[in-house]
Structures are given as structure tokens and as C-alpha cells.
Amino acid sequence: MAELDDVVAAVAASPAIRAKRSIGLVSEVLGASGWVEGPGDDGAAVDVDGRTVIACGEALWPPFVRADPYGAGVAAVLTNVNDVAAMGGLPLGIVDTVVADEATARSALEGMREAARLYDVPIVGGHLTISADAAPSISAFAVGSADALLSTTHVREGQDLVVAACTDGVMREDFPFFPSFDERGQDLAGDVRLLADIARKGLAVAAKDISMAGLVGSLAMLLEWGTFGAEVGLAALPAPRDVPLAWWCTCFPCYGFLLTCERGQTNACVHAFTSRGLSAARVGGIDGTGVITLTAGGRSLPALDLTRVRVTGLGVR
């Protein structure tokens, strides 16, 4: 029961969730220029001669780049691969932009090379500026393809909420990131491609990768397009044994996804993950309250009220 209070307090204090609110600037300046049929997904779905192409990009947090350029290089690839996967896509290639001194740039590119090997996705181009004066900066972009699309715009009341994750790993002490590279190794390439198969088979209709905003913040981003709510049972949540639940619910896992399923498909969706040795479970359901409610030990507490506080501020229905 104390864990429930700890998780709610951690969500309320999360700087990563607060940082997402600046994304609302996009809607303020560009207006209703969403992708698919509305904002909220981490990639853009573009029709190219009848084929759905996924395009996305990530800029790495500058303090992370300075502190660990190799790790930032790895993250530049994995965040893009996860974003493509969360839309039901297969990653086809990565391009990058690096501005840094030579030592930092070399370390970042080495990290990208290792991640590209693990995820079996080629780095096909990019841009490099060597500068000893500029603050180091890393961005990367991915292109993928999808036969069936997973999108936040497919979320509806009555769907089941599934959490799938790799819970094998060790939390970093200096940064809220839970890596599983050593534990999953070459399985990571198949792990991220699993979502395209799930989308093709209709086992899920929407997905969101769990990223910097953590599990609860990422769930809010999945739901806020339609001001949906959800009830999440913490007892059912796939989680590492040795990591406090408050940390797990606000960290960035190497492999973690939220999915919504029509009720007849939920068990098959969960099995698709567990059959690969990943953790997955139905943890709750989608409702129309606009409130993310966490439950444990017979108690329930609201974690985020999307009718009052927006996470990204992107368009609402």
C-alpha cells in the first residue's frame, strides 16, 4: 500500500513529465497539422504510393550527451527504433546529426554503431560537424514501413491496457534509464519487430513506447488525444524485482510498451510477448473519465487528471 503512495508522489514530482508540456508549442505554432488523423504518436505515418512509411526523429537531452556520449549514441538509435515499433512499423534505416568535438563525436558514433548492430538496422547517412566550441548535440531519425498501423487515434473506451517490457537489467544510478542490452543481446532486434507482427494480426490497435516520461507519463500521452482515462493495477504490472515501483513507473526502460487491445485479442497479445521471454500482462482498461487511476491493496489514487492538466498539450478531440 505504501508503494501506491510512492508511485503517485513520484509521478507528481517527475521533471520528465513536466518537460513534455513544452511540446504544446507545436500545436500553438503549426495548428492542427497532425499525422494520421491527430497528434500524439511519436512518428508520422505517410502514404507513399499505397505503402505506409513511418518517419520519426529524436534529439538527445544535452546533459546526457555531455555526461555519456556513447550511451547517448545508443539511445539515439533505440528511441527511434522503439518509436517505429510503437506504430506497428519495421525499422529500415537511421540517419544522424552530430555536432561535437572529435572525441565526443567518435564516442557517440561508436554507441550508434553498437545499437545499430543490436537492433539490426543500418545507419544509412547523416551529418557531422566537428567543433570544439559548440555544445555537443546528437539527433537521429528513422524511417520504417508498416502493413498495419498502431496509433493513439485508435484508442477507445472499453479496450484492455497491456504493458509489455523487458524486466531483466540493472537501473542506471545516474540517469533514470533501465537498460537490457546485455540481458537481451541479439534478441532485441526481434523484440522490436514483434509489434509489427502484432499489428498485422490485429492483436492490438494502439501502442506507445515507454520513454523519458516513464510508464505513467507515457500512458498519459497515449490517452490525452481523446482525453481518455485508465485504471492501472500495480499488482499486475510487469516490473523488475529489485527496482522500487516508483522508480520503475517513472524511468525509461530499454524495452517497454503500452498497448490497447480489443478484449477478444488481449490474451493473444500478451502471449506474443511472453513466448519470447519478455514480461507482459493486462494491467487495466481504458475508460472515459480522463483520469489515470492507480490501484493497489484495495486502494485507488488518481495519478494524472487529463481533464485538468495536459501532458504534451497537443490537440484534443
d(CA 74, CA 172): 14
Q: Is residue 36 part of a domain?
A: no
- Residues 68-94: tens digit of each pLDDT: 999 999 999 999 999 999 999 999 999
- Residues 292-316: tens digit of each pLDDT: 999 999 999 999 999 988 777 665 4
My answer on whether 103 and 164 are in the same domain is: no
My answer on whether 132 and 163 are in the same domain is: no
Helix-helix angle 2-13:214-223, to 10 degrees: 70
Q: Is residue 35 part of a domain?
A: no
Contact 253, 186 (CB under 8 A): no
Rg value, the chain, Cα:
19
Q: Is residue 30 part of a domain?
A: no
My answer on whether 234 and 131 are in the same domain is: no
My answer on whether 159 and 203 are in the same domain is: yes
Mean pLDDT score, 239-248: 95
Q: pLDDT-derived band of residue 33, with 50, 70 and 90 as boundaries? A: low
- Dump the DSSP string for 32-96: S--STTSS--SSEEEEETTEEEEEEEEE--HHHHHH-HHHHHHHHHHHHHHHHHHTTPEEEEEEE
Q: pLDDT-derived band of residue 43, with 50, 70 and 90 as boundaries? A: confident
My answer on whether 161 and 299 are in the same domain is: yes
Report pTM.
Answer: 0.93
Q: Is the pLDDT of residue 31 over 90?
A: no
Among 195-204, 217-226, 280-289, where is mean pLDDT lowest?
217-226
Of 96, 112, 146, the residue at which a domain comes to its end is 146
Contact 229, 161 (CB under 8 A): no
Contact 186, 77 (CB under 8 A): no
My answer on whether 197 and 272 are in the same domain is: yes
Higher-pLDDT residue of 27, 270: 270
Q: Which CATH number belongs to the domain containing residue 16 in this structure?
A: 3.90.650.10
Of 107, 126, 146, the residue at which a domain comes to its end is 146
Number of domains forming the structure of the chain: 2
- Residue 16's domain comprises 2-23+151-305
- Residues 125-147: tens digit of each pLDDT: 999 999 999 899 999 999 999 99
Q: Which residues, other chains included, contact 127 with Cβ-Cβ below 8 Å and sequence gap of 6+? A: 96, 97, 98
My answer on whether 256 and 272 are in the same domain is: yes
